[in-house]
């Protein structure tokens, strides 16, 4: 009689299936989303943050390499592009308002983008960060694919830029509501644009949940800030003598 397989042998078999890691990713996010709703939409219980903690915990406990996980979950990564394009849908409903607000939007975009880049480089430089670290942090406020591409072009590490962008997005989504309330900023368009500038895609997902107008302006800020960051980062680091 053949002895039953050991638990470790079953896990090794399951770990080779791409569906395992895709299922883990989806279940972790659905569970985090349920927890977020149960908490009364508390910004601190951010679904992305909770999902990351769960998945990282599973990978550490099972000693699974990231490459193995990504091979199974890369379909979710593929959906980043279509999801970003889909953000144009709420923007379409705000076209008339966007035309009237082009000047304040342009000024806010320029000031916000420059402030994000200069503060990231300046703080890291003051704390003794290496050149590679500075170049990786410079585009942190752009959405992750743009941040990774810009960092690679200017001598940074794309992987570190991805982490910095994720941290900026999660922390921005968590702190934005409280900070904007503290500053008594009530206008949904202003709140949304500020969140999109500082917290890109993760913040935009949060803004869409709160208010349709805020979500539309957050999506606009996400796209415009990505373009502005790609153009301004090389220019500013050259002017500062880092490149």
Q: Closest Cα partner for 196 from 187, 204, 206?
A: 204
Pick from 169, 177, 175: nearest CA to 210? 177
Q: Which pLDDT score, from 0 to 100, does residue 111 have?
A: 93
pLDDT tens profile 119-162 = 999 999 999 888 899 999 999 988 888 888 899 888 888 889 98
Gap between the Cα atoms of 188 and 46, Å rounded: 20
Answer whether residue 227 shows pLDDT above 60: yes
What pLDDT, on a 0 to 100 scale, did the predictor assign at position 231?
A: 92
Write the pLDDT tens digit of every residue in 195-219. 999 888 888 888 888 888 888 888 8
DSSP state of 237: H
Tokens representing residue 222 in the block: 């996400």
Q: What is the pTM of this model?
A: 0.78
The confidence band for 1, taking pLDDT boundaries of 50, 70 and 90, is very low
Helix, strand, coil percentages for the chain (3-state, nearest 5): 80, 0, 20
- Residues 183-206: what's their mean pLDDT? 88
Find out whether 14 and 20 touch, Cβ atoms under 8 Å.
yes
- Bigger pLDDT: 214 or 86? 214
Query: Which pLDDT belongs to residue 213?
Result: 85
């Amino acid at each position: 009689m053949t002895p039953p397989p050991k638990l470790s042998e079953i896990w090794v078999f399951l770990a080779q299936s791409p569906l395992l890691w895709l299922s883990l990713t989806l279940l972790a996010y659905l569970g985090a989303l349920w927890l977020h709703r149960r908490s009364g939409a508390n910004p601190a219980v951010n679904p992305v943050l909770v999902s990351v903690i769960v998945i990282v915990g599973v990978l550490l406990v099972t000693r699974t390499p990231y490459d193995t996980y990504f091979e199974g979950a890369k379909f979710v990564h593929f959906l980043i592009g279509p999801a970003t394009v889909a953000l144009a849908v709420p923007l379409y409903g705000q076209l008339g308002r966007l035309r009237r607000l082009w000047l304040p939007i342009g000024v806010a975009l320029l000031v916000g983008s420059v402030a994000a880049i200069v503060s990231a480089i300046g703080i890291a430089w003051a704390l003794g960060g290496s050149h590679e670290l500075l170049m990786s942090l410079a585009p942190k406020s752009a959405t992750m694919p743009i941040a990774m591409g810009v960092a690679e072009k200017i001598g940074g590490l794309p992987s570190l830029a991805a982490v910095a962008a994720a941290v900026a997005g999660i922390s921005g989504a968590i702190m934005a509501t409280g900070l904007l309330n503290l500053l008594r900023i009530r206008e949904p368009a202003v709140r949304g644009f500020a969140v999109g500038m500082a917290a890109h895609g993760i913040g935009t997902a949060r803004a869409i949940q709160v208010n349709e107008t805020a979500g539309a302006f957050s999506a606009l800020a996400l796209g415009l800030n990505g373009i502005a960051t790609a153009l301004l980062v090389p220019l500013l680091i050259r002017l500062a003598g880092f490149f």
